[in-house]
Amino acid sequence: MNDSEKTKLEAYADGQTMRKRQSPKRKKLNVQDSEPKPTKAKTTTRKRTQAKPKPEPAKIVEEVPIEEQHNIIFKPNEGPQTEFLAAGEREVLYGGSAGGGKSYAMLADPLRYMGHPSFSGLLLRHTTEELRELIFKSQEMYPKIWPGIKWSERKMQWTAPSGARLWMSYLDREDDVLRYQGLAFSWIGFDELTQWASPFAWNYMRSRLRSTAPDLPIFMRATTNPGGRGHHWVKKMFIDPAPAGKAFNATDIESGEDLNILQDTRKQESLCSNVGLYLHVFQTILI
């Protein structure tokens, strides 16, 4: 082996003359790098001002009736029913033809006091059959208005969670009033007052009207249709003394004397009123 061949062999061994392979990836990269990059043309443009959004028209909100907002169970009709429930007189008669909402107004009136633990009320009908119809109406109405109120069939009594009580009973005969001797009620109602032939029951129950708390007022309320056995005395007590809707001093219909009732340790005149067009109804049918 000569010196030149020996020198080439040593060079190959050292790797000085060996050509290095490039990987395919690298080749591609080099090709891309070698290609001239396109230059973007510079253009001058004005900035566009964004248009302000147009205000949307105001949305019309439909008013929801207050009955739907508050889930109102009972709302008195305008006229005599509202006047009856708003009356502040001691004794009030609500008269008119059948179907005028008198019984519902009578059932609604004592409910305003059922939150008072000392309240004791009594709602009366002439017979048990008539009373049963009133009880059915109260069973539909009362639990919706006073949650937790309970009806006792044995006692014929509604009892509210506050302890307030409302009895529902009947007075078929005059001596039935003796069942309430010694009792006190802050609210007494007579439904269909002309079904009683004489004023005996009304006058006796006046003596049972007493408050058991200083902040609890006392009231007697009555409803009636024109006609009936007690038509004449009811007319004489409530209709003859004053026009409809006008308050007047209660008097004894036999003697004509004013009735004074002791309330809150001082004497006050007992006020009565008749509500609605009851006066005109009685005048037209009176015999």
Residue 30 lies in a domain: no
- pLDDT (tens digit per residue) in 98-109: 666 899 999 999
Residue 112 lies in a domain: yes
DSSP 172: -
CATH of the domain at 176: 3.40.50.300
Residue 25 lies in a domain: no
CB 92 within 8 A of CB 219: yes
> What are the start-end ranges of the E strands in 156-208?
157-159, 165-170, 187-191
Rounded CA-CA distance 109/103 in Å is: 10
**pLDDT at residue number 250:** 82
Confidence of residue 29 (pLDDT cuts 50, 70, 90): very low
- pLDDT (tens digit per residue) in 54-82: 666 555 555 555 555 567 777 878 888 89
The residue type at 36: P
Confidence of residue 262 (pLDDT cuts 50, 70, 90): very low
Residue 48 lies in a domain: no
* pTM for this entry: 0.69
What is the total count of domains within the chain? 1
Flag whether pLDDT at 150 surpasses 90.
Answer: yes
CB count within 10 Å of CB 214 equals 8
> What are the start-end ranges of the E strands in 70-110?
91-95
The residue type at 244: A
Residue 88 lies in a domain: yes
Residue 202 lies in a domain: yes
Residue 29 lies in a domain: no
Domain that holds residue 247: 76-285
CA neighbor of 220 nearest in space, from 198, 240, 205: 205
How many Cα atoms occupy the beta-carbon half-sphere of 260 within 13 Å?
A: 5
- pLDDT (tens digit per residue) in 205-218: 999 999 878 899 99
Q: With b meaning 16 or more CB within 10 Å and e meaning fewer, what string describes 141-155?
A: bbeeebeebebeeee
Residue 31 lies in a domain: no
Rounded CA-CA distance 149/28 in Å is: 91
The residue type at 5: E
The burial class, CB within 10 Å (0-12 / 13-18 / 19+), for 118 is: middle
CA neighbor of 158 nearest in space, from 143, 176, 180: 143
CB 279 within 8 A of CB 242: no
